[in-house]
Amino acid sequence: MRRLAALCAVLALTLAAGSGCGSGGVRYSHGRVEVRLWHSMSGVTGDALKKIVDGFNASQSEYTVVPIFQGGYADSLKKLVSSLDTSSMPALIQLDDIELRFMVDSHAIAPAQDFVDADARTPGSHPANLADFEPRALDYYTLNGKLQAMPFNLSGPVLYYDRDVFAQAGIDHPPATLDEVRADAQRLLLRNPDGSLKRNGIALSINGWWLEQMMAKQGALFANNGNGRQGLATKVLIDSPAGIAVLSWWQEMVQSGLATNVGTSGLQSLLAVVTGKSAMAIESVSALRAIVLALGPASARLGVAPMPAPPAPDNSGGMVLGGAAMWIMKDRPLAEQRGAWEFLKYATQPQVQAQWHYDTGYFPVRVSSWDLEPAASLHRQYPQFAIAHDQVVRSPRNLATAGAVIGPFTQVREYEQTAFEQVLVGGKTPQQALATAAKDADRAIARYNRSVR
């Protein structure tokens, strides 16, 4: 008899281990609707997000937002995909820009536009004032005529440079085009007495994003069908003159020793500038806040300028406003979705965004945040932020600068990266490398498009 009881206990334990799943009803926490937020903000940015969440939770008594760090965007997306159609899905998830098409195709999201429209129909609601949102961010996340996700943290690439070194070389302004980068790099090279290089012109990391941005700066489309915004993209256009111009410059710079290739880690290129090994680097503006925090007043030496690129005909080119956005998941109960939307409206208030910008260096999503404290004092102390932002507001709004929309964008980026590696260390010409990358990318896009139809 006792043995039977032991057997039952063992069985019960084993089965319990396998059955952690429950139903998908509304989650409550202390009588409030619980809204789970999966995010990828850690360190300084994680603390800043926590501040926003705490502020929202204290501002009302209906919802509790619970932020859950899920690793990088790719890790978070991976977990989301495995949680689809289960009760462990969050109500809200932060994902990077390039997942736009993928998320829309998942049919698992509720477009932000639906909540904007619902607010407009509901008397007494406090609708989001989209007129005050950075229009380029809305452009990016608008697909099929609808705002799909709420832009949250905005960033873009910039040129970082060592102002002291520029001054010593007698260069009074940072380079704006790739030709100017080459000319400046020649003057900035520094050799040791034995002839070896002590400092090179620019540290370049390998990242498909640079190619995408430099094509947009030339006013060129990255993918067909209006960058995938007028119809489903079926081809990438990287083997065009605009793409070849970028990779040819890259190859020439690295092979002549004017630039150093630091591989795929962006951190390495910034490290090269900070340690004096390179005079310039191209990196995301989102690194700026961390650098300023680490270096303090010494960071005055670090200059920031718009990312250089081949000039665009008749000012048709500009930066693609990248970063990440918040997505509301439609399979969570409506109460949680409403809570998620209320949180997003709170998180994008001008005052909240001014603080977010101050804490993290991400561009605020609200136009009016720019002149509010503490953002304004940050710009007085570190004019680099204002310079980086200029690049955003000067960008024309068109299909090229709205950015490409492609389903398997992560895979396409890998092929772009391979093209960079092929020209830098694989002995291929830019034309060959980009043609191969385009062919591989087109095949991945075709496979993807077929599988979601």
Complex with other proteins: residue 216 or 423, whichever CB lies closer: 423
Secondary structure (3-state) at 109: strand
Complex with other proteins: residue 26 or 84, whichever CB lies closer: 84
Rule CB under 8 A: is residue 425 a binding residue for other proteins? yes
- d(Cα 350, Cα 133) in Å, to the nearest integer? 9
- d(Cα 292, Cα 303) in Å, to the nearest integer? 11
Complex with other proteins: residue 67 or 228, whichever CB lies closer: 228
Complex with other proteins: residue 132 or 414, whichever CB lies closer: 414
Rule CB under 8 A: is residue 293 a binding residue for other proteins? no
Measured CA distances, 14 to 2, 4, 7, 31, 94 (Å): 18, 15, 11, 33, 35
Shortest separation between residue 217's beta carbon and other proteins, angstroms: 26
- d(Cα 264, Cα 52) in Å, to the nearest integer? 32
Radius of gyration of the chain (CA): 24
Q: Check if the beta carbon of residue 218 is closer than 8 Å to that of residue 233.
A: no
On the CB side of 428, CA atoms within 13 Å amount to 17
Phi/psi at 29 (5° precision): -145, 115
Tell which positions 264-283 bind other proteins, by CB under 8 A: 264, 268, 271-272, 275, 277
Tell which positions 217-246 bind other proteins, by CB under 8 A: none
Complex with other proteins: residue 273 or 372, whichever CB lies closer: 273
Residues with Cβ within 8 Å of residue 364, at least 6 apart in sequence: 134, 154, 350, 353, 354, 356, 357, 370, 375
Binding other proteins (rule: CB under 8 A), the pick from 422, 434, 442, 445 is 422
Tell which positions 174-193 bind other proteins, by CB under 8 A: none
Site size toward other proteins, by CB under 8 A: 43
Binding other proteins (rule: CB under 8 A), the pick from 417, 429, 431, 432 is 417
Binding other proteins (rule: CB under 8 A), the pick from 25, 59, 68, 74 is 74
- d(Cα 34, Cα 335) in Å, to the nearest integer? 9
Tell which positions 127-156 bind other proteins, by CB under 8 A: none
Rule CB under 8 A: is residue 84 a binding residue for other proteins? yes
- d(Cα 310, Cα 181) in Å, to the nearest integer? 10
Tell me the window of 23-31, 86-94, 103-111, 209-217 that interacts with other proteins (CB under 8 A): 103-111
Tokens of 146: 């609808």
Binding other proteins (rule: CB under 8 A), the pick from 201, 364, 407, 430 is 407
Shortest separation between residue 415's beta carbon and other proteins, angstroms: 11
Tell me the window of 33-41, 62-70, 76-84, 368-376 that interacts with other proteins (CB under 8 A): 76-84
Rule CB under 8 A: is residue 316 a binding residue for other proteins? no
Rule CB under 8 A: is residue 6 a binding residue for other proteins? yes
Binding other proteins (rule: CB under 8 A), the pick from 46, 66, 88, 105 is 105
Tell me the window of 74-82, 88-96, 151-159, 343-351 that interacts with other proteins (CB under 8 A): 74-82
Phi/psi at 283 (5° precision): -155, 170
Nearest CA to 158 out of 281, 65, 71 is that of 281
Rule CB under 8 A: is residue 108 a binding residue for other proteins? yes
Strands (E), 113-258: 142-143, 146-147, 150-155, 157-162, 190-191, 197-204
Length of the chain, in residues: 453
Rule CB under 8 A: is residue 14 a binding residue for other proteins? yes
Tell me the window of 89-97, 105-113, 216-224, 227-235 that interacts with other proteins (CB under 8 A): 105-113
Pairing of the two strands 32-39 and 63-69: parallel
Complex with other proteins: residue 4 or 131, whichever CB lies closer: 4
Binding other proteins (rule: CB under 8 A), the pick from 18, 22, 195, 296 is 18
- d(Cα 107, Cα 334) in Å, to the nearest integer? 16
Rule CB under 8 A: is residue 444 a binding residue for other proteins? yes
Secondary structure (3-state) at 294: helix
Binding other proteins (rule: CB under 8 A), the pick from 106, 113, 125, 398 is 106
Nearest CA to 216 out of 199, 198, 231, 229 is that of 229
Bridge partners (DSSP) listed for residue 133: 366
Complex with other proteins: residue 332 or 357, whichever CB lies closer: 332
Binding positions for other proteins, rule: CB under 8 A: 6-7, 10-11, 13-15, 17-18, 74, 78, 81-82, 84, 102, 105-106, 108, 261-264, 268, 271-272, 275, 277, 407-408, 410-411, 414, 417-418, 421-422, 425-426, 444, 447-448, 451-452
